[in-house]
Amino acid sequence: MIPAAFVRLRGPACGQPAHPSRATWQHGHVTPATHSTLFPQVPDSADAVLDGLDPEQREVATALHGPVCVLAGAGTGKTRAITHRIAYGVRAGILQPSSVLAVTFTNRAAGEMRGRLRQLGAAGVQARTFHSAALRQLQYFWPKAIGGSMPRLVDRKVQLVADAAAACRIRLDRGELRDTTAEIEWSKVTQTVPADYAAAAARAGREVPRAPAEIAQLYAAYEDLKRDRGVIDFEDVLLLTVAVLQDRRDIAEQVRAQYQHFVVDEYQDVSPLQQRLLELWLGDRDNLCVVGDASQTIYSFTGATPDHLLDFRTHHPGATVVKLVRDYRSTPQVVHLANGLLAQARGRAADHRLELVSQRAPGPEPLYTEYSDEPAEAEGAARRIRDLIGAGVPAGEIAVLFRTNSQSETYEQALADAGVPYQLRGAERFFDRPEVRKAGIALRGAARFGGNDSLLDDVVDLPSQVRAVLSGEGWTPRPPAGSGAVRERWESLAALVNLAQDFAAAKPGATLSDLVAELDERATAQHAPTVQGVTLASLHSAKGLEWDVVFLVGVAEGMMPITYARTDEQIEEERRLLYVGVTRAREHLHVSWSLSRSPGGRASRRPSRFLDGLRPGSGSTAGRAGQGGTGGIERGFTGGGQTAVPRRTQRTPARCRVCGRTLTDAGEMKLMRCEDCPSDMDEGLYERLREWRGVQASSSGQPAFCVFTDKTLMAIAEAAPDEPGDLARIPGVGTRKLNRYGADVLAICAGREPGGGTGVD
Integer CA distances (angstroms), 668 to 50, 82, 691, 716, in order: 40, 32, 23, 13
104 forms bridges with which residues in the sheet? 129
Distance CA 57, CA 54 (A): 5
CB 85 within 8 A of CB 110: no
Least Cα distance to 180 among 155, 196, 201, 195 occurs for: 201
Kindly give the residue spans of alpha helices, DSSP state H, lying in 40-196: 46-49, 55-62, 78-91, 107-119, 130-145, 158-167, 174-189
Integer CA distances (angstroms), 83 to 54, 58, 335, in order: 14, 11, 25
CB 715 within 8 A of CB 732: yes
Distance CA 386, CA 380 (A): 10
CB 589 within 8 A of CB 552: yes
Q: State which amino acid sits at residue 761.
A: D
Distance CA 108, CA 19 (A): 27
77 annotated among ligand-binding-site residues: yes
Integer CA distances (angstroms), 51 to 17, 19, 324, in order: 13, 8, 17
Distance CA 354, CA 352 (A): 7
75 annotated among ligand-binding-site residues: yes
78 annotated among ligand-binding-site residues: yes
Least Cα distance to 398 among 263, 537, 521 occurs for: 537
Distance CA 376, CA 381 (A): 9
Environment class of 741 (CB within 10 Å of its CB; exposed 0-12, middle 13-18, buried 19+): buried
Distance CA 264, CA 252 (A): 19
Distance CA 121, CA 329 (A): 25
- Supply the Cα-derived Rg of the chain in whole angstroms: 28
711 annotated among ligand-binding-site residues: no
74 annotated among ligand-binding-site residues: yes
DSSP assignment of 618-651, as one string? SS--TT---S----EEEPPP-TT--SPP-TT--S
79 annotated among ligand-binding-site residues: yes
How are strands ordered across the β-sheet holding 367-373? 367-373, 585-596, 547-552, 398-402, 534-538, 422-424
Environment class of 562 (CB within 10 Å of its CB; exposed 0-12, middle 13-18, buried 19+): middle
Q: State which amino acid sits at residue 343.
A: A
Number of H helices, E strands in the chain: 29, 17
Annotated binding-site residues read 72-79
- Per the annotation, where are the binding residues for ATP? 72-79
